[in-house]
Amino acid sequence: MDIVMPNGLDPDPTPVIRARNLDLTFQTGDGPVRALSDVTLDIGKGDFVSFIGPSGCGKTTLLRVIADLEQPTGGSITVNGVSPEQARLKRAYGYVFQAAGLYPWRTIARNVALPLEIMGYSKAEQRDRVARTLDLVNLTGFENKFPWQLSGGMQQRASIARALAFDADILLMDEPFGALDEIVRDHLNEQLLQLWARTTKTIAFVTHSIPEAVYLSTKIVVMSPRPGRVTDVIDSTLPRERPLDIRETPEFLEIAHRVREGLRAGHSYEDV
Amino acid sequence: MAGGRTLPILVVVASIMAVWYVATVWLNTPWQLGVYEREGRAWTASDLVVDTMAQERPVLPAPHQVAIEIWQTTVEKKITSKRSLVFHAWITLSATLLGFLIGTALGIALAVAIVHNRATDRSVMPWVIASQTIPILAIAPMIIVVLNAVGLSGLLPKALISTYLSFFPVVVGMVKGLRAPEAIQLDLMRTYSASTAQVFWKLRWPNSMPYLFASMKVAVAISLVGAIVGELPTGAVAGLGARLLAGSYYGQTIQIWSALITAAALAAVLVSLVGLANTYVLRRMGARP
């Protein structure tokens, strides 16, 4: 079903992630900081959703709420129909952080095997899955290397393999390519799309790059800061098959323009 | 060894020796002059230099006197002899190693408890720190006496004094080490719903290895100090501490110095053994060579 639809035009009856009037206020030394305000959002199965906005707009916080790494102070949210905590305990999602965060004392293969060890997969199953996911991110042959022997882009790919290894339906990615240079980034974006097409996962992706968001997403959630809220949700009209040069088509530029408008609208609010 | 490193080391050693020899002559001269006067003997400058380095109980023995003493009491004595320095060093070393092992184990155990339990953190840490403000010389006799009263004597009481000193750097280092994982590494474990034990064995423990070895280097050296101090107030008959004490009773400065040098050499060996273990373990853990 996830292949047929122009995503999101037709609201999925059972969204994978469903947020209603989500609020999150951090208590800090300088008083309360409102990180999320009245966020309402549906993410359907097989969607590739990007959260985009300037820093401080709560996009990472929103992702962390979905992952049960932060607790909302108001509103409701379900992941796979249950609370984020239950979803986490069922290992419903793989999380890719801004930094690869590979364990330096483990080889690449053993880093990818880490979640499998924790989740109690058999040795044989671990070997199979490590081999399969490393192949998925084009890292076959680097099994026995230690992280420091790999480039930044390869490390980030290994961390994606680690998030994919246990076959969660949802992939949460927090600016995974933010620290990489543009060329590597383009390459990884392309690979990520191929991977998404092959695995039919639901992906929530935080970024502050407009081209990245437009290129990758079936749905773009534009956010603005202070307090973090959703200002626009754009359903992409681009086809699922996306070569890199789609970024020069008028359609692409039009979506990018709308994202930029959305971001600007959020910003002008801040200037007051 | 690279020539570029050998030369500076040799220069430093040579200058220490030179200073030592000059000091020997200088410090031993007053007594030597007294000897000449009593014997009514004429003396020359070269006599003075030779004689100040050949006294039986010098204020400061010359390096070669210490070297000869060490040679005679190690190589030329049977190691079972009470006059063998190897025998005494072994007595002290066994207390050191036992104390170091107990201290390291205790230190790790306390650090684990402190990191995993807020109440322990609040209640134990102040005591750990307070324990180190008591001079070991003051508390060592108490430990020996108390343990004697409950029927423990010999190796263990001395080892426990080593433990008393050596657990401290391990607690402090390991608390730091076990808390060293970055927030993102801990978050990652949370996304896997990992148990506390899994977080410990797969993240905190391996991540703390550099801290553990750094602490153990300090701990092993301080263990040796503890063992020697443990031998001092107890009238111990054997061990480097006993050797130091006997030497000072009878004014045997050469014996004192040879025991001191042996203790220093022992400490150096122990610290470098921990260093080698460190290199080996971190290499196995894929550290950048």
Q: Is B286 within 8 Å of A115 when comparing Cβ atoms?
A: no
Residue with tokens 């324990």: B131
Chain B positions in Cβ-Cβ contact with residue A95 (cut-off 8 Å) = 187-188, 191
Q: Do A95 and B287 make contact, defined as CB atoms within 8 angstroms?
A: no
For B61-100, b/e burial (b = at least 16 CB within 10 A) is bbbebbeebbeebbeebeeeeeebbbbbbebbbebbbbbb
Q: Pick the closest to residue A46 from A7, A84, A80, A78 (CA basis).
A: A7
Task: Report how far residue B117's alpha carbon sits from residue B110's, in angstroms, rounded to the nearest whole number.
Answer: 10
Counting one residue from chain A and one from chain B, the pairs whose CB atoms sit within 8 A come to 55
Tens-digit pLDDT profile for residues A151-199: 988 999 899 899 988 888 899 999 888 877 888 788 888 888 888 888 8
**Sheet containing A17-28, strands listed edge to edge, beginning at the edge strand earlier in sequence:** A31-43, A17-28, A74-79
pTM greater than 0.90: no
Give the mean model confidence (pLDDT) for residues B106-124. Answer: 91
Is B188 part of the contact surface with chain A (CB cutoff 8 Å)?
yes
Identify which of B190, B202, B287 has the shortest CB distance to residue A114: B202
Q: Low-confidence residues of chain A, pLDDT below 50?
A: 1-12, 268-272
Question: Are B286 and A146 a contacting pair at CB < 8 A?
Answer: yes
Tell me the pLDDT of chain B averaged across its residues: 89
pLDDT level of residue B131 (50, 70, 90 thresholds): confident
User: pLDDT digit string (tens) for B143-173?
Assistant: 888 888 888 877 888 899 999 999 999 999 9
Q: Does domain A1-92+171-272 have CATH number 3.90.1170.50?
A: no
Q: For residue A13, what pLDDT is reported?
A: 63
Chain A interface includes B280 (CB < 8 A): no
Across the interface, whether the CB atoms of A88 and B193 are under 8 A apart is answered yes
Strand A17-28, strand A31-43: pairing = antiparallel
Are B202 and A118 within 8 A, CB to CB?
yes
CA distances from B162 to A150, A197, B216, B271 (A): 44, 63, 13, 15
The band of B110, judged by pLDDT with boundaries at 50, 70 and 90, is very high
Please tell me which residue of chain A has the smallest CA distance to B201.
A118
Beta bridge partners of A49: A204, A219
Q: Angle between the B155-178 and B85-116 helix axes, to the nearest 10 degrees?
A: 40
For the cut 90, the answer to whether the pLDDT of residue B106 exceeds it is: yes
Name the pairing type of β-strands A74-79 and A17-28.
antiparallel
User: What does the angle CA A87 – CA A90 – CA A94 come to, to the nearest 5 degrees?
Assistant: 75
pLDDT at B234: 65
Q: How many C-beta atoms lie closer than 10 Å to residue B119's C-beta?
A: 9
Please report the ipTM that was assigned to this predicted complex: 0.84
pLDDT of residue A1: 40
Q: Which residues, numbered 163 to 182 in chain B, qualify as contacts with chain A under a Cβ-Cβ cut-off of 8 Å?
A: 182
B9 touches chain A (CB under 8 A): no
Residue B193 to residue A86: CA distance in whole angstroms? 10
How far apart CA B62 and CA B74 sit, in angstroms, is 18
What's the average model confidence in pLDDT over B117-135? Answer: 87
Question: CB distance from B203 to chain A under 8 Å?
Answer: yes
Q: Using the beta-carbon criterion (under 8 Å), do A69 and B203 form an inter-chain contact?
A: no
* A227: preceding bond cis by omega (within 30 degrees): yes
User: How far A248 CA sits from the closest chain B CA (Å)?
Assistant: 36
Query: Side by side, which strands form the sheet with A202-207?
Result: A93-96, A170-174, A202-207, A48-52, A219-224, A229-235
The pLDDT-based confidence of B236 (bands split at 50, 70, 90) is low
Task: Convert the pLDDT of each residue in B27-56 to its tens digit.
Answer: 999 988 898 889 888 888 888 888 888 888
Of A2-11, B123-132, B169-178, least confident by mean pLDDT is A2-11
Q: Where are the domains of chain B?
A: 3-57, 85-284
Closest CB to A148: pick one of B191, B202, B288. B288
Contact indicator for B240, B263 with CB cutoff of 8 Å: yes
Between chains, do B189 and A118 touch, taking CB under 8 Å as contact?
yes
Pick from A88, A98, A105: CB nearest B286 = A105
Give the type of residue at B115: V
Which of A165-174, B11-20, B116-125, B242-251 shows the highest mean pLDDT? Answer: B11-20
Q: Does B238 touch chain A (CB under 8 A)?
A: no
Query: What does the pLDDT average to over B113-132?
Result: 88
Domain range B85-284, CATH architecture:
Orthogonal Bundle (1.10)
A window 199-228, beta carbon within 8 A of B: none
% of chain B beyond a pLDDT of 70 = 97
Backbone dihedral angles phi then psi of residue A24, each to the nearest 5 degrees: -145, 120
Residue type, B238: A
- Residue type at position B205: W
Check: CB of residue B121 under 8 Å from CB of residue B184: no
Write the DSSP string, B156-217: HHHHHHHHHHHHHHHHHHHHHHHT-S-HHHHHHHHHTT--HHHHIIIIIHHHTHHHHHHHHH
A162 → chain B, closest CA residue: B188
Q: What pLDDT, on a 0 to 100 scale, did the predictor assign at position A272?
A: 39
CB contact under 8 A, B188 and A101: yes
Instruction: Pick from A54-68, B39-53, B203-217, B229-243 the range whose average pLDDT is largest.
Output: B203-217
Q: What are the extents of the domains in chain A?
A: 1-92+171-272, 102-167
Suggest the residue from B192, B211, B278, B285 to mutate for an interface test with chain A (most A CBs closer than 10 A): B192
Output the pLDDT for position A152.
87
Q: Alpha-carbon distance A115 to A96, whole Å? A: 13
Instruction: Report pLDDT for A2.
Output: 44
Q: What is the pLDDT of residue B2?
A: 54
Task: Using an 8 Å CB-CB cutoff, list chain B residues near A69.
Answer: 187, 190-191
Chain B positions touching A148 (Cβ under 8 A) are 286, 288
Check CB contact under 8 Å for A99 and B184: yes
The pLDDT, as a whole number, for residue A65 is: 92
Contact B149/A at CB under 8 A:
no
